[in-house]
């Protein structure tokens, strides 16, 4: 047996789980992310946007095209989000600083919670996300523009 592979688990012992190895589930990751945020309801997000907060829509193009967009939101693909939200990075959004309030928006408020926690790790301590996502915004009767805008390159 190769020493770097370790010994197999005895037949009478269950194999290790991710938790045994210090891994967490997606649900636990979400819970931990949300514990770090002061999440906002749609009406509060609209007020923050009116006061100058940056609303970032990270939904896929197909969802934005089918359901619409929040007027004035900046469209950023999830694949480049950290580079656009790094307040010290050369690829950050124009005008973004560590003090910029940011509200992240996804479809229903799950991916945006994880993204907002990532934004905190980058130094955006005023970042949060929209409870219920874009669909809650729309259901609240807040303004919606036709979708399909291109994302920030």
pLDDT at 22: 85
Q: What is the mean pLDDT of residues 81-90?
A: 97
pTM here is: 0.85
Q: Is the CB of residue 114 less than 8 Å from the CB of residue 29?
A: yes
Q: Give how far Cα 71 sits from Cα of 53, 64, 65, 123, 138, Å.
A: 13, 12, 13, 26, 11
Domain boundaries, the chain: 39-139
Given this model, what pLDDT does residue 10 score? 53
Query: CA–CA separation, 32 vs 14, rounded Å?
Result: 28
Higher pLDDT, 51 or 14: 51
Q: Which two tokens stand for residue 103?
A: 């509200």
Q: Contact at 8 Å (CB) between 73 and 56? A: yes
The model's pLDDT over 25-70, given as tens digits with 9 standing for 90+, comes to 999 999 999 999 999 999 999 999 999 999 999 999 999 999 999 9
What pLDDT is stored for residue 15 in this prediction? 55
In terms of CATH architecture, what is 39-139? 3-Layer(aba) Sandwich (3.40)
Taking the C-alpha atoms of residue 23 and residue 105, their distance in angstroms, rounded to an integer, is 27
Average pLDDT, the chain: 91
Q: Reply yes or no on whether the pLDDT at 128 is more than 60.
A: yes
Counting Cα atoms < 13 Å in the Cβ hemisphere of 68 gives 15
Average pLDDT score over residue span 91-107:
97
Checking if the pLDDT of 1 tops 50, the result is no
Q: What is the percent of the chain where pLDDT is above 70?
A: 87
- Residue 20 pLDDT > 80, yes or no? no
């Amino acid at each position: 047996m190769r020493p770097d592979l370790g010994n197999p688990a005895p037949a009478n012992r269950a194999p290790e789980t991710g938790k045994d190895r210090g891994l967490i589930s997606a649900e636990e990751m979400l819970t931990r992310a949300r514990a770090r945020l002061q999440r906002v309801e749609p009406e509060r997000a609209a007020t923050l946007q009116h006061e100058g907060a940056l609303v970032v829509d990270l939904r896929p193009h197909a969802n934005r095209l089918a359901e619409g967009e929040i007027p004035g939101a900046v469209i950023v693909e999830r694949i480049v989000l950290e580079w656009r939200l790094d307040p010290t990075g050369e690829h950050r959004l124009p005008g973004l600083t560590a003090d910029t309030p940011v509200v992240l928006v996804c479809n229903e408020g799950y991916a945006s919670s994880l993204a907002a926690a990532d934004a905190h790790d980058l130094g955006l301590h005023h970042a949060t996300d929209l409870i219920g996502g874009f669909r809650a915004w729309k259901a609240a009767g807040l303004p919606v523009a036709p979708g399909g805008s291109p994302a920030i390159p």
